[in-house]
Structure 1
Amino acid sequence: MSNPVLTALLERRSIRQYTNRPITREEITTMLEAGRWAPSGKNNQPFRFLVVRSDDPRMDRLADCTIYSHVVKSAPLMIGVFLDKNSLYHELKDHQSAGACIQNIMLAAHSLGLGSVWLGQMMNNAEKVLDILSLDPATYEFITFITIGEPAKEGSSSRKPLEDIMLEQF
């Protein structure tokens, strides 16, 4: 396929095991910039980011917030995505915007030859995550952490046929 955007969409996989290669500041900035450009209602840009590296003492405590702690412990980097409650425009639209932001970050990681996975299950411990990070729950809503690193092995995936998920045929 000659379209780089469509190629990235079709080739990106969730990666849950990483090498020890550190992620550069330039790579982090590239991923955050991609997230920053996600669409949002009225261009309110309610997402906020927090970068946690593997040598950060909070990493082990954050690993305890998910049943996928082995993924967190394997990752050289995590990017936290939060919503600033003072910037919200419409709750549903702002959550959709956060999803677009996360997808942008993961596609940017893929374009840099990095792997990532969205740790959605961690939301079950949102209060604990905010406490570990010393973030005020009256100001910030925890959305997710994305683990990021050089893939230690390839990911795999499959999809249902398009006709199986269409409500009507076109």
Structure 2
Amino acid sequence: MKSNPVLDALRERRSIRKFTDAPVSRDDLTAILEAGRWAPSGLNNQPYRFLVIQEDDARASQLAECTKYGHIVKAAKVLICIFLDRRTVYSEMKDHQGAGACTQNMMLAAHSLGLGTVWLGEIINQQDQVLDVLRLPAEQYELQVILALGHPDQKGSSKRNELSEYMLEDF
């Protein structure tokens, strides 16, 4: 297969759950947030909203109490909370898909900058608690995901099934 930086990044990116003590630069963080901002959305409504929590923010330790993956939250240098703004939602399914694209964009951007991320999805089961910690109104914001971010202190690994196992028909 011909080398392509985007396709290479898609194959090489892995979930990282352990991070070094090195800080994440503001420039890198801005680049990651910009990548999320450029994700596709239905009718270009751009319903996602971001909240960045640095490791020294008291809310980080409170968020760790909201998930069984609190050890990952505590290890991260930065947490990026991704929400849908309910006031801008026009199609729940499309907007959830857009939030997924936004999240993937951010994860790929982080990877391209030599940073690691993991998608913390389980935490949405405690959405009310998370919104309380962050002092955000539930009638306006719907938590989609929290990304734990930092410089990798581990190699990620993954295995995929053969493409044929996903195909409903041969092409």
Q: What range is the shorter-chain TM-score in?
A: over 0.9
Give the deviation of 1:122 after TM superposition.
Answer: 0.5
Instruction: Read off the aligned partner of 2:109 and give its amino acid letter.
Output: A
Give the deviation of 1:2 after TM superposition.
Answer: 2.6
Q: Once superposed, what is the RMSD of the aligned Cα atoms?
A: 0.7
Any stretches of 5+ residues in structure 1 without a counterpart? Answer: none
Aligned counterpart, 1:153: 154
Alignment of 1:140 with 2:141, yes or no, is yes
Aligned counterpart, 1:166: 167
Alignment of 1:111 with 2:105, yes or no, is no
Aligned counterpart, 2:14: 13
Q: How is 1:1-170 mapped onto 2 (pairs within 5 angstroms)?
A: 2-170=3-171
Q: Distance in 2 between matches of 1:77 and 1:134?
A: 18
Q: In structure 2, the residue corresponding to 1:151 is in which secondary structure? A: coil
TM-score by length of 1: 0.99
Q: In structure 2, the residue corresponding to 1:48 is in which secondary structure? A: strand
Q: Distance in 1 between matches of 2:25 and 2:79?
A: 13
Instruction: After the TM superposition, list the runs of 4 or more consecutive aligned residues in structure 1 that deviate by more than 3 angstroms.
Output: none
Q: Distance in 2 between matches of 1:153 and 1:88?
A: 38
Q: In structure 2, the residue corresponding to 1:19 is in which secondary structure? A: coil
Matched residue count: 170
